[in-house]
Structures are given as structure tokens and as C-alpha cells.
Amino acid sequence: MEGLVTQIQGLSGTDSDVLSLQNLLKQADDSLHAESTRLLPFLDQLDPAKHSLGYLYFLEAFTAGPVTNEHASSSVLMIARFISSCVAEQIRLAPDKFISVCKRFKDQVLLLEEPLRGVAPMLTAIRKLQSSSEHLTALHPEFLLLCLLSKCYKTGLSILEEDIFEVDQPRDLFLFCYYGGMISIGHKRFRKALELLHNVVTAPMPTINAIAVEAFKKYILVSLIHNGQFPTNLPKYASSVAQRNLKNLCQPYIELANSYSNGKIADLETYVEANKDKFESDNNLGLVKQAVSSMYKRNIQRLTQTYLTLSLQDIANRVQLNSPKEAEMHVLQMIKDGEIYATINQKDGMVRFLEDPEQYKTCEMIERIDSSIQRLMTVSKKLNVMDELMSCDPLYLAKAGRERQRFDFDDFDNVPQRYNI
Amino acid sequence: MDGEEDTSNPMMEANGTGGVDEAPLSSTSTRKNRPIISGEPLDIEAYAGLYTGRTKIKRLIFIASRCDNPAMQLEALRMAYDEIKKGENTQLYREVVQKIEGRLGPNYEMDAAWCSTIERKDEQRKEKLESELNAYRTNLIKESIRMGYNDFGDFYYAHGALGDAFKSYIRTRDYCTTSKHIIQMCLNAILVSIEMVQFSNVTSYVSRAELTPEALDPPTVAKLCCASGLAHLEAKKYKLAARKFLEVGPELGNSYSEVIAPQDVATYGGLCALASFDRTELKNKVIDNINFRDFLELVPEVRELINDFYSSHYASCLEYLGNLKPNLMLDIHLYNHVETLYDQIRNKALIQYTLPFVSVDMRMMADAFKTSVSGLEKELEALITDNQIQARIDSHNKILYARHADQRNATFQRVLQTGNEFDQDVRAMLLRANLLKRDCNLKASRKV
């Protein structure tokens, strides 16, 4: 054991040394695990900053066993310190170990019921593990889970702003998007939530999974809140499994969407009352209530298209509210949220609807449009690159070649054959 | 004179003769000069005088079933009875007698003897026609066979067996030698199809007939225009119907009285045009149309209301419309389109009223349309929501302000939105592609 420690200390200098160290460590892994309880003093001899890889192996073996509450807080501290001081290149050589250490970290933090302690370390861990900001690691969903449980939404949002293109495990993606959707909903960023949930629902999946089902339920509700309608059919690129099964598994929500599209608030509210238990058991009741109130908003917004001024009493009548006071409250809330532009004249009981003051003439707007254009150009370029790569891919060419029409004997010559690698 | 006719009708019924003979000549001539389709209660005799044949009977029965006024009902039924007795249609006879229910006195009861005589004559005639036809068929003389089938068709038509009549007329197609024959067949088929209310057949036979232009004389052309106009009207294609009716030449005269009267051409054409044409078309095709002017003379109220609409006298236009409505509801082809046409005309009037103005005082507009301000507000709201009027209502001061969409702002908004959607879609696409590629690579590596 001491020999191993000295080797770690010696071989943590250059990259080639580190690689040979890794081989040694891999061979020594089992013995490490066998002696997991005795590893603590050795850990003190190692410096997490310089000897990250070695420290990682030791740490992983140490935390492999069951942990009690007293040990939990000390090991939490240890892991947190390790994460903040470790060197990214070294730990990337053993990503699985790193991931399992962090996952155990999360479990212990939850055991202690202090998810907030885990948020910052987990964020650092993600940054160190990611090969690029487009890379989704297994730690992303864990991080979002901690953010959700500790109600620390803003940090979660910062991660969501990044674009994700590479994924290790589909399950990570599903969880990430689902939790991300929930965080966005919590922050009332419905467009972002819709995007994330859409990704879950339309992702390629060979079999139906529970995450997709739950995501679909929220997707319907957010779609109603944000767009005022729900597209009855999933887009064509959604997997066939999803298209066939998702609707059947979320029947009450589909009926809610149908009731919403009929436009009668009274019917909608009775339906919600009748199915309250189902919504509550899915923890979606709050979202459902938001959907119902969004219907009032939508009706009021429609009024802005036809009227310049309207009395509060008229608004209450047309939107089927109970009194002018309620209408005033709704309109006030909408003005505050920036959903309509209006002024309320309390003396006359009149509301005056104004035009959107945005004139699209300011510098900020020009900057916004410009950055949007730049962004789109980058994304298009990426798309082109991927297209080119794909058309050179031997697997693709083999399949496409096989299915090509053959009009001439000559055609046979040009079909690429499968290479025997 | 005419106003007294309704009250004096019961007397006339008892005599069994119409009041026409007893009235002095001058009144018949005045009756001819008075428009028949007008805002006044329908003069059934004059109306029925426009038509001949089966359509006359059908129209009278329709009026009787739709009319509220029992005196008019009985008048219509009486005339229907008389007309049927001149023909051979026992089924219609039974129907009319049942409807009369003995209210017209003993002369208008079920004449069973007449029925059985007719039916016997039917049988005999049918046998005769059949034997003749068989003879012709064995002799293979095309012309005789054609005439034989035609006779059969006429026979069935007179007895109300419309399906059989249609089939017989169609069978002459194989034996038609000249284009005149083809035209005759088409006209017969069209007639029966209109009676059977199968207007798809009407359209196809009209186009069939139009394929032989050399044999078409102007009255036939006019008849075909009327038939296709009716077909379009039935299919609720009001613009096409209007165009067809406006093409009918004055040669029509009374030659198509077994289907339609010139007054109907004017009414249908005028109303459909008003409901579906825009201003330029209305001016060019209706108001400046010399041929159609003759037709419009027959229904001066329709002419007045079209002119009022064009010159923006909406109140009087709508008043004429309101007056005409009860009589139009008694028309066998128009009754189920009256509401739609009226709504369309009213909406067009409202839209046309607001077009030239930047702001409109809704109280004045309500006066012009003879409606209340709140009713007007509701109508305008519906039109604005439907995007037919570009305006907004100031409900506090009751003013309508024209509002033109700001193209520039709308374009910017759309641009930003499209950019966002593109961005989202492409990123999602790349993500999905990566996932799929990963799956493929896994599968490939597993296979290898």
C-alpha cells in the first residue's frame, strides 16, 4: 500500500508518467477495494491537486463501502475539497471513477438533508469533467436534482443556457431535460421549458420510459400555458414508440387540452375539479392551475385585438369572470408581467389598450438581431459539417448503396462494399 | 284591386273558377305590369303563371307547405290540384288531395275514378311503348330506338317516376346521331336531374352539352347557363352562380318555364352577385350589364337594392331586403340560401361603410343600419375578430378607429421569432442526430 502511495507521488509529474501510473492503478484497484476501510491515513499523504488520479482511485475505493451519518459529513467535506482542487486532465483519464465518487457525494449530501452544500461542488465537478461545454455528462442531471431540491434555481439556469450536443447516455439526457424543464417552469421561463421537454418527448427511444411519460404530461401543460394550444400530433421525427404510446398513457392531460381548446372556462374548471386527485398524484396540480389562469389571459389578450378601450364590466362579461374587481386584478397582473400594454382608468372603470411600444429602432435591438444572426450562422455551419461527415461515413454509404435503384449492369460496380476492418 | 283579392278568394273557391275571368281587362294588364316577386304578399296566380309543367306543381305545393297564411295555402293547393288534373301524375294527385283535407269543398276531393282511369291508361300506354321499342330494337333502326326511349322518358316523367325517366333519357345516348339529338338528351337529363335535386348530374350534362357548340342556338345556351347557375347555387358557390346567371341572354324569354322564370334569373343573379362580388365586379357585370338590365326590369325591387348598395344607401337597401325576404323564403331553390346570402350582404355593407374612414361614430353608423349601438358593436367585433375589418373599437366613446397593421414592426417580430425557431429546431436536430449516431455505433460495434 505504501509502495503504491510512493509511486503515485513519484509518477504524477508528466503526462507519460501519469499514463503508466494509470496502468499501475488499474491493476491495484481490486486490492484497494479490499482494504477500503484502512485507506484514510493514506489519503492524507496524497495531495489532491498534484496527485489527482491516485487520490481519485483511493477515494473511490474508500467511499465504496456503506457510510454512516457521522462519517457522511466528514467524507462530504473531503470529497468537496477534492473536487475543488483536483486537476481536470488527470481525472478525465478515469471518468467512471470520478462519476461514481460524485454520485456517492450526492447521496451523502441528501442523506444529511443539506442539498445546498452539494450544489457548488457539483458544478465545479461538471466543469472539470466536461470535455467541452457541449458535452453532457452523467453529472448534469445530478446537479439539476440538487438545485431542484435546494430550490437554488438560478445556478441551475446557468447550466441550461448552454447548448448540448454530445451525450454519453440517453438516460442522462432524459433526466437532464426533465429536471431542466422543471427548473425553467419554476422560474416561469416557459419557452425554455417547452424546448427542453420537447427534446425529451421527441428523442429517439427504443422503448417507452417513465421519464418520457412524465415529461409528456408537463409538456402538454406548458404548451397550453405558453402557446394556448397543444399540437395533437407529435412531430414526425419523434420515435414511433413515443407516437403510439404517449397519448394513451397521459389520457387525463389530453382531455384537459381538448377542454382548453374549446374555450369555455367553466367546463375547464369542472374538469380540473373532477380529476384533481390524478393531477395531484403527479405533482402537477400547480401547473394545471396555471394553465387554467392562462386561459383568462388569452381571452383578455384577444380583446386587445378588437378594442381600444373597454369597461372593466365588459371585460368581466366577455372573459366570464365574476366581477369587475376580478377583471381589474387580472389586467393589472398582466400589465405587470408585460403580457399586455394597457392603462386602467379607475375613475371611469375603463381600460385603455395600447400598442406595443417596441419600435425596433434602438441599438440594443440591433445588437440583439446581430448576435442572433451570428449564432444562427454558427449553428448552420455545424449542421453542414455534420452533414458532410455523415455522407462520408462508411456505414451510411453501405446502407444507402444497398438500397439504391439499379438501372444498369454498370451500377453494380459503383456500390461501395462493406470493408472488413 | 289586387289588395282585395285575398279577401275575395273564399268566394272564388266556392265557384271553382278563378277570379281572373270576372275582373275587367284593365286589371289583368295592370297585374302584368306589376312585378310578381316584390315586397308585397305573393300573388300566387301570377307567380304560378310564370311556370309550366311539373315545376309549377312542385312550387305550388312548396308554397302551400311553407306559407303561414291559410288563404294563400288553399289558393296554392287549389291551383296545384287543377294543374295536376290536366296531367297524369296520380302520385302527386294523392299528395295534394291529402294536403287539401277537404277544405276546398267537394270539387277538390279525391276523385278515385279519375285515378283509376289514369292508371289503366298508364298500363296500356306502357305496354304499347314497350312493344314498339322492342320492335324498333329488333329492326335496329337507330333513330326509332332513340325516339322510343325518349317517349319512354317522357312517359315516366309525366307519371312522376323520375329515376326511370332519367335512365330512359340516358339510354338514348347510344343512339344519338346528330348533335341536335345530343343536346336534346342533355336538356332532358338536366330537367329530370333538377326535379330530382341531383345537381351533380346537372353540371356534368351541362358541360356535355357545351361540348357541341355548333348545335347550340341562343335560347339553348341561355337554358344551359340557367341550369349551371342553379347547380352552383345549390352547391353554395354563390360567386360562380352569380356569374352564370349574369351570362344568361335575353333570348331566354319564357322558353325555360319548365325550370325557371326570368324573374328568378334576375333575383338569384342579383342577390348572389351582391353577396359575393366586389365593387368593381358589381359595377361591370351587374349595373353596366345591358342584357341583365332587362331581367332586372322584371324585379325592380332587386334593381333598386343593388343600386342602393352601390351608392351606399344601406338603410334602404336593407329595408328592401327585409321586405323581399318572406317571398324569397317561398322559393323552392332559394329558401335555404336566403339567410346566408343576407348575412353576407349585411357584412359586406358594414365593411364597405367603414372602409373610407379613419374613425367612425358608431351612433351614426347604427342609425344608418337601423340597429342599436350595442348590436352594432357585437357585429363589428365579430367582423374584426374575423379579420374582415381592420379597426379597433373605442367602447367608451363608441368610436371605431381604423387600424393599419404596422408592417415594419410585424416584420421585425416575425424575423426574431423565425430566428429563434430555426435555432431551436437545428439544435434539437443535431442532438437527435448525435443520439442516433451513438446508437448506430453501439450496434455496429456490438455486431463486430
pLDDT band of residue B7 (cuts 50, 70, 90) is very low
Q: Is it the case that residue A138 has pLDDT exceeding 70? A: yes
- HSE at residue A205, side-chain half, CA atoms within 13 A, is 24
Distance from CA of A276 to the nearest CA of B (A): 34
The pLDDT value recorded for residue B439 is 79
User: Taking CA B410 as the corner, what is the angle to CA B409 and CA B415, rounded to the nearest 5 degrees?
Assistant: 100
Distance from CA of B431 to the nearest CA of A (A): 5
- Could you count the other beta carbons within 10 Å of the beta carbon of residue B127? 10
- Phi-psi region at A265: left, alpha or beta (left = phi > 0; alpha = psi -120 to 50): alpha
Give me the mean pLDDT over the A77-90 stretch.
82
Cβ A376–B422 below 8 Å, yes or no?
A: yes
Distance from CA of B396 to the nearest CA of A (A): 6
Its pTM stands at 0.69
Contact residues, chain A, for B401 at CB < 8 Å: 308
pLDDT band of residue B34 (cuts 50, 70, 90) is low
Cβ A376–B415 below 8 Å, yes or no?
A: no
Q: What percent of chain B has pLDDT over 90?
A: 14
pLDDT band of residue A235 (cuts 50, 70, 90) is confident
- Could you count the other beta carbons within 10 Å of the beta carbon of residue B85? 15
Classify residue B284 by its DSSP letter.
Answer: I
Cβ A199–B394 below 8 Å, yes or no?
A: no
Best B417, B423, B426, B447 residue to mutate vs chain A (most A CBs within 10 Å): B423
Contact residues, chain B, for A171 at CB < 8 Å: none
Cβ A202–B431 below 8 Å, yes or no?
A: no
Instruction: Copy the grid coordinates of residue B425.
Output: 429546431
Cβ A204–B432 below 8 Å, yes or no?
A: yes
The pLDDT value recorded for residue B28 is 41
CB B296 within 8 A of CB B270: yes
Give me the mean pLDDT over the A303-319 stretch.
86
Cβ A383–B426 below 8 Å, yes or no?
A: yes
Per residue in B75-99, pLDDT (tens digit) is: 888 888 888 888 888 888 888 888 8
pLDDT band of residue A416 (cuts 50, 70, 90) is low
Give me the mean pLDDT over the A340-364 stretch.
87
Q: Which one has a higher pLDDT value, A10 or B434?
A: B434
pLDDT band of residue A384 (cuts 50, 70, 90) is very high
Q: In Å, how far from its chain's centre is CA A145?
A: 10
Closest in A167, A307, A358 to B434, CB measured: A167
Cβ B435–A173 below 8 Å, yes or no?
A: yes
Per residue in B221-267, pLDDT (tens digit) is: 888 888 999 999 999 999 999 999 998 888 887 888 888 888 888 99
Best A191, A317, A379 residue to mutate vs chain B (most B CBs within 10 Å): A379
- State the DSSP string of A177-220: HHHHHHHHHHTT-HHHHHHHHHHHHHS--SS--HHHHHHHHHHH
Pick the CATH number of A307-353 from 3.40.718.10, 1.25.40.10, 2.60.120.650, 1.10.10.10: 1.10.10.10
Contact residues, chain B, for A239 at CB < 8 Å: none
Q: Mapped to the 3 state alphabet, what secondary structure does A392-417 carry?
A: HCHHHHHHHHHCCCCCCCCHHHHCCC
Q: Which residue has the cell 276546398?
A: B104
Closest in B385, B412, B430 to A306, CB measured: B385
Nearest CA in chain A to B401: A308
Contact residues, chain A, for B422 at CB < 8 Å: 376, 379
Classify residue B283 by its DSSP letter.
Answer: I
Q: What percent of chain A has pLDDT over 90?
A: 9
Residue B393 forms beta bridges with which residues?
A: A307, B400
Q: Is it the case that residue B24 has pLDDT exceeding 90? A: no
**CA B409 – CA B57 distance, rounded (Å):** 63
* Region of poorest pLDDT, from A389-398, B150-159, B341-350: A389-398
**CA A27 – CA A19 distance, rounded (Å):** 13
Q: Which residue has the cell 346567371?
A: B245
The pLDDT value recorded for residue A318 is 84
Q: How much is the mean pLDDT over chain A?
A: 83
The pLDDT value recorded for residue B6 is 40
Per residue in B192-223, pLDDT (tens digit) is: 888 888 888 888 888 888 888 777 788 888 88
- Residues of B within an 8 Å Cβ radius of A: 381, 384-385, 392-397, 401, 406, 408-409, 412, 415-416, 419-420, 422-424, 426-440, 444, 448
The pLDDT value recorded for residue B31 is 42
Nearest CA in chain A to B428: A199
pLDDT band of residue B385 (cuts 50, 70, 90) is confident
Cβ B423–A379 below 8 Å, yes or no?
A: yes
* Region of poorest pLDDT, from A17-31, A126-140, B67-81, B374-388: A17-31
In chain A, helix, strand, coil percent, each to 5? 70, 5, 25
Classify residue A105 by its DSSP letter.
Answer: H
Per residue in A23-32, pLDDT (tens digit) is: 877 877 777 7
pLDDT band of residue A399 (cuts 50, 70, 90) is confident
ipTM for the whole complex = 0.82
The pLDDT value recorded for residue A291 is 87
